[in-house]
Amino acid sequence: MVDRSKFYIDGAWVSPVSSKKTTKVVNPATEESMYEIALGSKEDVDKAVAAAKRAFETFSRTSREERVAILEKIIAAYKARMNDIGAAISDEMGAPLPFAEKFQAGAGLGHLASTLDVLKQYDFEEPIGTAVVVREPVGVIGMITPWNWPLNQIACKVAPAIAAGCTMILKPSEYTPTSALIFAEILHEAGVPKGVFNLINGLGPDVGAAMSEHPDIDMISFTGSTRAGIDVAQRAAPTVKRVSQELGGKSPNIILEDADLEKAVKGGVAHVFNNSGQSCNAPTRMIVPLSKMQEVSAIAKGVADKTKAGDPRGEGTNIGPVVNRTQWDKIQALIQKGIDEGATLVAGGPGLPEGVNKGFYVRPTVFANVTNDMTIAREEIFGPVIAILGAKNEDEAVKIANDTPYGLAGYVSAGSVEKAREVARKIRAGNVNLNGVPNERTAPFGGYKQSGNGREWGKYGLEEYLEVKAIAGAA
């Protein structure tokens, strides 16, 4: 039974040091409070950091084999809790239960497994001339994770930090705390040494700020909005700690003249609607030949009309609600902005879906004839809303694609992989997917420009948690 009134610090479940503050966790499908969680303070952060700092002295010196054994035990314990994790995510952020169990919980397991494979093969030392270059753990890591893919983001930070020999403090989102608490139980069951992993629930201005500013935290790994990421970086600057960030996105999806139009449009729209549009790398700007705008709009409308927004535990549900009232209000305002600024509303629109009278549900929405200066083409909506833009030719499509402060992901569909690859090289983004192929979990994930810095996943994710030391004369 998850104890939401306590934190996990130094290998034990403990009460907050001083704060008696709590917050309610609301089910977005019913708008009803399910329970309350304890909120931490700077004092709790100090306590967790002290534990992590002590643990680093010994954990940083563990062997590869010891860390491999720990990850193997974590994976075994995680597999036994997959259904618990899926149910918690479904209840707290609204993902349909089958999706939450298979993809949300499954993403966490995938990162644990891929990190284990990387660790088994990674070379922590290499000779360069007369020197030996050694890769060593950074130190104590502060981790701040979001609510949209809770275990995906927790696992792709915690797994490589453990593999590197770092110790850590995690502040999960206050909207999705239970899956994180279950994860702490998994690590405890797996025998992770005390102080290596610590968890504090809390709010960004309290716990997040204290972590970012803490002089004994050597690195912050943050996933969230660009606005919050800027604040984290500013607070971290006086201590010159490393800051790795995965932030917002407004990803372009270029569909070229010779692409399989039906496949590309259907796949692109479905990707945006996936997870109720709450994915930072969603291809929310579909850029198509102007001559095909009407045909593309009709295909997109067909996808929207068949996408059922409803009860996450219900039959036939494709997407659940968005996470909370604040997000719902923001999405509604942006949908209305699209209408007011002259975009063509093809499907969906403001208000609740048909047959729904409560919950933070958004109608799957398609806008056509969007121009790149419209608000819905500039701002990250983070809901099931897609903007279709027209381009006269390939060069204009690339220009539109890159005309954004973001650079997390890009998508290209073309008649040949060679052509798609040629266009992909012109897109200023950290990840580009060709012809509907999904991300490769062992390849790096992260963004250009205001979508962040640093990389996660696979070997590149492990290296974020390693310092590089040159020992001259050691070769």
Q: What is the pLDDT of residue 80?
A: 98
Check residue 475 and give its pLDDT.
74
176 and 95 Cβ atoms separated by less than 8 Å: no
Alpha-carbon gap, residue 70 to 445, rounded angstroms:
25
Taking the domain 7-247+451-472, which CATH number applies? 3.40.605.10
Helix (H/G/I), strand (E/B), else coil: 134: strand
What CA–CA distance (Å, rounded) separates 155 from 19? 28
Q: Give the residue range(s) of CATH 3.40.309.10 domains in the chain.
A: 252-443
Task: Tell me where in the chain the CATH 3.40.605.10 domain(s) lie.
Answer: 7-247+451-472
Give Cα separations from 236 to 164, 198, 226, 288, 371 (angstroms): 22, 20, 15, 41, 37
CB 432 within 8 A of CB 409: yes
- If residue 342 lies in a helix (H) or strand (E), which one and from where to where? none
- Please give the order of strands across the beta sheet that includes 344-347: 344-347, 365-370, 385-391, 285-289, 252-255, 409-413, 431-434
Select from 450, 445, 449 the least CA-distant residue to 464: 445
User: Tens digit of pLDDT for each residue in 116-143?
Assistant: 999 999 999 999 999 999 999 999 999 9
Mean pLDDT, all residues of the chain: 97
In 3D space, the residue among 258, 342, 325, 335 whose CA is nearest the CA of residue 304 turns out to be 335
Catalytic residue status for 246 = yes
pLDDT digits (tens, 9 = 90+) for 173-203: 999 999 999 999 999 999 999 999 999 999 9
Work out the pLDDT band at 353, boundaries 50, 70, 90. very high
- Phi and psi at 172, nearest 5°, equal -80, 170
pLDDT for res 355: 87
Condensed to tens digits (0 to 9), the pLDDT of residues 70-107 reads 999 999 999 999 999 999 999 999 999 999 999 999 99
CA neighbor of 370 nearest in space, from 361, 357, 360, 381: 381
Given a cut of 80, whether residue 287 has pLDDT beyond it is: yes
Give yes or no for residue 399 having a pLDDT over 80. yes
Position 2 scores a pLDDT of 86
Give the lowest-confidence range in 248-252, 313-317, 394-398. 313-317
Q: What is the mean pLDDT of residues 307-325?
A: 96
CATH architecture under which domain 252-443 falls? 3-Layer(aba) Sandwich (3.40)
Higher pLDDT, 18 or 10: 10
- Region 262-278 average pLDDT: 98
Say what the pTM is.
0.97
Q: Which two tokens stand for residue 265?
A: 């449009």
pLDDT of res. 118: 98
74 by Cβ neighbours in 10 Å (0-12 / 13-18 / 19+) ranks as: buried
Which entry of 92, 280, 380, 464 is annotated as an active-site residue?
280
Residue with tokens 């110790």: 167
Hey, what are 412's tokens? Answer: 């290209």
- Stretch 21-35: mean pLDDT, rounded? 97
Residue pLDDT, tens place only, 61-72:
999 999 999 999
Confidence band, pLDDT 50/70/90 cuts, at residue 468: very high
Q: For this structure, is 166 an active site residue?
A: no
